[in-house]
Amino acid sequence: MIPKDQENKIVKRSFKVPRRYIFYGLSVLYLIGDIYWFDGPLKSRIDNRLKDDRVDAQELAIREEIVATVNAHPIRRYDLDRATQEYCRKNGISMGEISRSRANAIRLLVLDQLVIDRLIWFHSHHYPVKLSEDEMNDALIRFRRGFHSSEEFEKETSLQGFSVSRIDNFLRNQFMQRAWIEKTLEKHIVVSEEEIKARYESDIFISMMPERVNLRHIFLATLDQDPEQVFERVQSIYIKLKEGQSFDEMAMKFSEDSRSKHEGGDLGWLTRERVPKDFYDKVSNIMIGKISTPFKTSLGWHIVHVIDRIGSSKASLDLIYDEIHATIETEKRQVAVEALINHIKSKAKIRYTGQFTWIE
């Protein structure tokens, strides 16, 4: 039994706060007051240090010509310029012939795609999907088959300013990124048989086979070329065709469409949806077995030989089952890719320097 007076002493002693805790508390209050309430000397030093860091980052961006960083990986002016040139080349756009506002809009679009590419690269290397060496080599061989010979591949590579080894490394990275995307999305793009049947029944247009035309062509590009010289060349080719020269041989010799020239210009069966409107509008007026006069589209000059044509017709489910499957899968893939991009963007540290983006 503890005496009453001793119990009171123990209770009083238990509520006594050590002096060091009081000192610690006052120090914390001082720091909070300095930084958040009074703009004291400590806050001034922190602000100056942050300002110096911002100045250093800006100077670095200018010195290294950095347009943006993605998780600390830089995108430089050179990357943006080259990607913009490639975008314009693929879309038949000449930067010298468009307004400055449109040119800047294109650069912003390309920059956004570069950011997405870096994010996908980042994730595919940090969470890689294992690919065998045989898979890699098969993919490289399939790519090179788009060229007539190794010499042509090396020549085209050199014209683009790359070495063969650099192209191979680039393609390997592309395959790894594609494999990572497929692995990430695979559970979101499963298509059931019920979905296919429902789409066939509900979509009256999908069961209609559109008009198709089987053709081959000779193509001469006009981008960055002298228009008069291109016109003279295409007219010369057309005259030789009228004189009885083989279309296949002329296509293999003169066509600038690398995908079809080695096949005698054969484009296979095409529908209106698969080709530019200005091209199909011309093709639709050419009779079966006839060779067109040269005509110009947004991409360049064409001479077309129409081999056959099939009108639109109702198709059975069995006939277009795979096509409906591919359509639904593509729709799901598009939604899944957009969701994936938005997700990885929201988690990434993306910084735009404001330098070298615009054409002044």
pLDDT at position 2 is: 47
Q: Are residues 131 and 179 in contact, defined by beta-carbon separation less than 8 angstroms? A: yes
Domain count, the chain: 2
Backbone angles phi, psi at 68, to 5 degrees: -160, 165
Position 267 scores a pLDDT of 93
Q: For 243-269, how does the pLDDT look when each residue is reduced to its tens digit (9 = 90+)?
A: 999 999 999 999 999 889 899 999 999
**Residue at 336 is within a domain:** no
Task: Give the whole-angstrom CA distance, residue 269 versus residue 307.
Answer: 10
CA distance 250 to 290: 16
Element holding 168 (H helix, E strand): helix 164-185
Of 34-48, 108-122, 311-325, the one with minimum mean pLDDT is 34-48
Residue 83 near residue 110, CB atoms below 8 Å: yes
- Greatest extent of the chain over all pairs of C-alpha atoms, in Å: 129
32 within some domain: yes
Nearest to 290 by CA among 310, 267, 309: 309
What's the whole-number mean pLDDT along residues 216-231?
90
Give the CA dihedral 74, 130, 188, 349, nearest 10 degrees: -20
Domain assignment of residue 286, yes or no: yes
DSSP assignment string, 274-337: GS-HHHHHHHTTSPTT-BPPPEE-SSEEEEEEEEEEE--EE--HHHHHHHHHHHHHHHHHHHHH
CA distance 350 to 62: 17
With a cut of 50, say whether residue 11 has pLDDT above it: no
- 0.75 cut: is pTM over it? no
How many alpha carbons lie under 13 Å from residue 155 in its C-beta half-sphere? 6
| pLDDT computed for residue 46 by the predictor | 54
Is 335 part of a structural domain of the chain? no
Domain membership flag for residue 116: no
Q: Which residue has the tokens 């030789």?
A: 240
Model pLDDT, residue 155 = 79
| 347 located within any domain | no
Q: Rounded to the nearest 5°, which phi and psi values hold at 66? A: -90, 125
* Radius of gyration, alpha carbons of the chain: 33
Say if 246 falls within a structural domain: yes
Q: Nearest 5°: phi and psi at 108?
A: -65, -40
3-state helix, strand, coil in the chain (%, to 5): 60, 15, 25
Supply 130's token pair. 């294992």
- Is residue 243 within 8 Å of residue 298, measured between CB atoms? no
What pLDDT score does 15 carry? Answer: 47
**Using 50, 70 and 90 to split pLDDT, how confident is the model at 231?**
very high
For 215, the domain range is: 208-314
Predicted pLDDT of residue 336? 92
Percent of the chain with pLDDT over 70: 83
Contacts of 180 (CB under 8 A, 6+ apart): 120, 123, 124, 127, 128, 129
Q: Output the average pLDDT for the chain.
A: 81
Distance of alpha carbon 143 from alpha carbon 38, whole angstroms: 66
Q: Residue 265: enclosing H or E segment and its boundaries?
A: none
Mean pLDDT of 299-327: 89
Q: Is the pLDDT of residue 28 over 70?
A: no
Higher pLDDT, 339 or 126: 339
pLDDT at 256: 92
Residue 280, domain member (yes or no): yes
In Å, what is the CA distance from 8 to each residue of 19, 71, 126?
A: 22, 62, 64
Three-state SS string over 188-236 comes to HCCCCHHHHHHHHHHCCCCCEECCEEEEEEEEEECCCCCHHHHHHHHHH
Confidence tier at 135 by pLDDT (50, 70, 90): confident
Give the amino acid at 148: H
pLDDT exceeding 90 applies to what percent of the chain? 33
Last residue of a domain, one of 314, 329, 353: 314
CATH number at residue 233: 3.10.50.40
Which of these ranges, 207-211, 243-247, 283-287, 318-322, has the smallest mean pLDDT?
207-211
pLDDT value for 72: 85
Contacts of 73 by beta carbon, 8 Å cutoff, 6+ apart: 118, 122
Structure tokens at 38: 């009074």
